[in-house]
Structure 1
Amino acid sequence: MNRLTFPFVRSLLVATLAVCASASAAEAPKAVAKVDPAKGGTLYDSGDAARGLPACLSCHGAAGNSTIVANPKLAGQFEAYTHKQLIDFTTPNRQQPVMTTYAKMLTEDEKKNIAAWLAMQKQKPGAAKNKDTVELGRKIYRGGIAEKGVAACASCHGANAGGIPAQYPRLSGQHQDYTFAQLDAFKNGVRKNSPQMTTLAQRMSPEEMKAVSDYIAGLR
């Protein structure tokens, strides 16, 4: 190799190494932020005034135990389910004026942190209120409505409505009004993030939905 060729080869080698290093950096996976329930709890309790984000507890109660029957209890709900709903609120599949607005303000990490914190909270039990329909609610929850092709709620949500992590949400102890409102939303196509629930709700009468919603409130 002559003296004129060597500088050229050295420059080419340096350039090649630089390109390889750049490609490796681009292919390196991004660091995944660790879920931080404590941060989720702080955001839940205090919100973020600088961003116009209110405290979640103003609607969903201390530690996720809502006292407003139109707003769900979130305490003890599966982390994966709550996280998915926060994402769904930002899509056409589950539009709700208040939650859609605030869910869009949350970062992905904040959604995960809040969901993780809520999963750690203990839900306060509820109670069935209508003694005239509790037996109908029990039959629907335990055995479904065979003549209408409605499967037993227990087949997916568990015998005591404890749910199945990452698949089906916990329903036990939930406010009657909220559960009925969600069944109605599925039935009328307002809520579209569960084709299975849409199909089942469309086969149920309002009376049947109210009965099973009341029964579920008393499960624990």
Structure 2
Amino acid sequence: MRRAPVAAIIATLLMVAPTAFAADGTKADPAKGKLLVEQVCAACHGIDGNSAASANPSLAGQHPEYIVKQLNEFKAAKRKNPVMMGMAAPLSPADMKNVAEYFSAQQAKDRGASDKALIEAGKKIYRGGIMAKGVPACMACHGPSGAGIPGQYPRMGGQHSAYTLAQLTTFRSGERNNNTVMTDVAARLSDAEIKAVAEYIQALH
């Protein structure tokens, strides 16, 4: 089966409608979110959203809409992770919004690259894509600095390279299948290309 050309992928990405964060009109309460973070989330993601373990994503500065979307998909088992599915199961919509609002207000740490030798290769993919393989530039959706677009595309800048590598690998294998565009993009990347772009993303801030 022929995959869609790069232009079609970018067009699809840019036409995705923003996620409704406060469709019910209620306002998130970050103070309540902090209490939940202290009780439930901090052990893996850090009290300030900067996780110490590279296998766990940092959530500091992440768009609240994206966090809510992922929590809902863990709860609905649309995104599979035994730990996160268990954590999300008892959360109410208000809990999710409160936690997301708290994490989004935290300052993400500047990590730098863990493997500087891969930075240049990763930069080329992130900023220019791989035209010969139909891979769009990552920055088309996630922005030049990895800031993403609120309500549409997640913040990536400064994320642990090990976590990004793991997610791209599971998108490619189909183990993670809650975003069809990312599944298609990851399917076009080699192990070396995934590792390089993950290192470059970690260095962004």
**1:1-220 alignment, distance < 5 Å:** 33-45=26-38, 47=39, 55-220=40-205
How large is the RMSD of aligned CA atoms in angstroms? 1.2
Structure 1 residue matching 2:117: 3-state secondary structure: coil
- Give the C-alpha shift of residue 35 in structure 1: 1.6
Deviations 1:117-167 (A, max 9, x none): 111111111111222221110000010011100000011100111100111
Residues 41 and 204 of structure 1: CA distance in aligned 2, closer, same or farther (over 3 Å): same
| Residue number in structure 1 paired with 2:18 | none
Task: Supply the AA of the counterpart residue of 1:42.
Answer: L
- Give the C-alpha shift of residue 34 in structure 1: 3.1
Tell me: higher relative CO, structure 1 or 2? Use CA pairs within 8 A at least 6 residues apart.
2
- Give the C-alpha shift of residue 201 in structure 1: 0.1
Using the alignment, how far apart are the partners of 2:128 and 2:90 within structure 1? 41
Using the alignment, how far apart are the partners of 1:32 and 1:124 within structure 2? 32
Using the alignment, how far apart are the partners of 1:142 and 1:181 within structure 2? 21
Using the alignment, how far apart are the partners of 2:158 and 2:187 within structure 1? 24
TM-score under structure 1 normalisation?
A: 0.80
TM-score under structure 2 normalisation?
A: 0.86
What percent identity do the matched residue pairs reach?
48
Stretches of structure 2 lacking an aligned partner (at least 5 in a row): 1-23
Using the alignment, how far apart are the partners of 1:194 and 1:109 within structure 2? 24
Which 10-residue stretch deviates more, 116-125 or 129-138? 129-138
- Give the C-alpha shift of residue 78 in structure 1: 0.3
Contact 2:77 2:85 in 1 (8 A): no
